[in-house]
Structure 1
Amino acid sequence: MTVARDPGAPLTAFAAILTQRSAPTRAREDLAGLIDGAAALDEADRAAMLAASVDRYLAYRTMVHGRLRRTIREWIPRTIRRVGDRYPRDFAAFMEDPGPRTPYLRCVPGEFVAWALPRWRDDPALPPYLEDLARYELTDEDLRNEPCGGEAPTGLPLALDRPLRIDGAVRLQRHAYAVHLLPRAVDDASAPEARDTHLLVYRDRSSHQVRYLELTPRAAAVITRLLAGEGVQAALVGAAAELEVALDDEFLAAMVHFFADLSEREVLLGAEP
């Protein structure tokens, strides 16, 4: 029976060669069976794929796997160091199902981490802070490439009834471990302190380096509400109620210093018009 040509079928068959864990062995033993099982190719496309060298297919597979493996390792090096020998197996399983869905190389580490975290949580041999470390390392690299940020200041002073403009590259993170204090050396296997940690992450406008500011619970509650678009007064009142603390002079003085610090860091850019 003649198969109607599907323009995407050759790519689907080629993807099977790139992603399936058994592909190297199957391609050498039965390339036709491998591509026939992956896609319904018309006669011309099937003949063209079978005419290509298996060695060329596998060389390209090796190149793609190597580039993606290195990118993930470069994005989350300390996490991968702690994952250890299971990383190659995890990577191979990820490539087979679901495999990268993004067309952007820089987004592959995030997809891999999202896939891997549930599996790492179930492995008692891995440290309990691994999820926090992976998220921390991902944010560090993602923010370097974030197209948002660098918005112009409004030129308007803080007003209690208005929201504040906040740099678009700002992120908030909450961790169960103080992973931001771990040594940067990849070979260092130190364990972080187990404590509730709030971090404000931003990109320095002068150096373009990613910076971290550890927040008190009060500051974290307030900035979370400001990022959601609440006015200053509403954010202060809501944060105090959320934490079940008094909105007293000490609270307000601490927030004045906090806002001044964020303005100096060019995180707060003035009241919205």
Structure 2
Amino acid sequence: MNKPSALPEFQRYQLAFTAHIRDPKAHPRPAGVEARRMKIYNELLYNNIEGFLLACFPVLRQVLGTRKWAKLVRAFFSTHRSRTPYFRQIPDEFIQFLQNEWAPPEGYPPYLLSLAHYEWIELVQSVSTRSPDRVFDSAGDLLDGVPLLNPVLANLHYGWPVHRIAPRRKMQPAETWLLVFRAQDDRVQFSEINAFTARLLTLLEPGTLTGCAALEQIAAESRHPDPALILQAGGALLDDLRSRGAILGVVA
């Protein structure tokens, strides 16, 4: 990349113009631009980015409050280089920024990234275009057959109870498993699950094990004294997951 001093004058002006828009406090307004007009550019672009983030992260905004939220959005706007031109993917870029580029200053909650990811996953599931890639029998035997999971499903694990976070609520770390999937009515469903259900879904995800084989593996891993009880409870769980739409049926 050429050094700024080696660039043509109009490109140096463009760089100064956009640098000021990204962070007006750190970069002076380019010479020859009226302050009032520059302010319009600044507010228009910042508000546009913030608007897309607010639509996806309303709880995060409430938890942080006005000042901390504004500092976070400004840090994202001024330093992150997005790899997509689509406005709908701005929340995706924001998550990448939080995961890979941002070091939380003192005073920001330790669960910030977990909460942001939890809010973001609803958008991901709602716009997903994934569909079943295998023929299945919706009424097949889930123990003898190979269960097919809903392709628009996330089996999530957090170190915080993200679904209970709210402004001014004191939170303590807690192992939390959540199931998120898009049902047949296109609504995204959230439910808290336990470690047993999460492990079962993990084993079934590749689509190679029968329901019975997956449950037998869990029984062996946990060294349960009564494997038959695991199979009985697991069979009922598989039926429940199918009735809710998390499992579509059995691979045909």
Q: Does the pair score TM above 0.5?
A: yes
Give the TM-score of the pair, scaled to structure 1. Answer: 0.72
Percent sequence identity over matched residues?
A: 23
**Residues 145, 13 of structure 1: alpha-carbon distance in 2 compared, 3 angstrom cutoff:** farther
Instruction: Tell me if 1:68 matches 2:46.
Output: no
Selected match of 1:230 from 200, 208, 217: 208
Aligned partners of 1:121 and 1:93: how far apart in 2? 10
Aligned partners of 2:112 and 2:7: how far apart in 1? 49
Matches within 5 A, 1:253-268: 253-268=232-247
Cα deviation, residue 104, structure 1: 1.9
Give the TM-score of the pair, scaled to structure 2. Answer: 0.78
Counterpart of 2:3 in structure 1 is: none
Unaligned stretches of 5+ in structure 1?
A: 32-52
Counterpart of 1:93 in structure 2 is: 75
CA RMSD of aligned residues (A): 3.5
Instruction: Tell me if 1:80 matches 2:61.
Output: yes
**Residues 246, 107 of structure 1: alpha-carbon distance in 2 compared, 3 angstrom cutoff:** farther
Selected match of 2:189 from 211, 234, 259: 211
- Partner amino acid, structure 1, of 2:80: P
**Per-residue CA distance 1:123-158 (angstroms, 9 max, x = gap):** 342223222211111112322222225789722613
Selected match of 1:239 from 218, 225, 237: 218
Matches within 5 A, 1:26-45: 26-27=29-30, 29=31
Aligned partners of 1:9 and 1:160: how far apart in 2? 66
Aligned partners of 1:79 and 1:262: how far apart in 2? 30
Matches within 5 A, 1:67-146: 67-84=48-65, 85-117=67-99, 122-146=104-128
Instruction: Tell me if 1:179 matches 2:157.
Output: no
Cα deviation, residue 250, structure 1: 1.5
- Partner amino acid, structure 1, of 2:108: L
Counterpart of 1:195 in structure 2 is: 174
Looking at both structures, which has the greater relative contact order when contacts are Cα pairs under 8 Å and sequence separation is at least 6? 2
Cα deviation, residue 202, structure 1: 0.9
**Contact 1:150/1:167 (<8 A) preserved:** yes
**Residues 261, 10 of structure 1: alpha-carbon distance in 2 compared, 3 angstrom cutoff:** farther
Q: How many residues align?
A: 242
Aligned partners of 1:178 and 1:198: how far apart in 2? 9
Deviation above 6 Å: which 4+ runs of structure 1?
8-14, 118-121, 150-153
Unaligned stretches of 5+ in structure 2?
A: 1-5
Cα deviation, residue 77, structure 1: 1.3
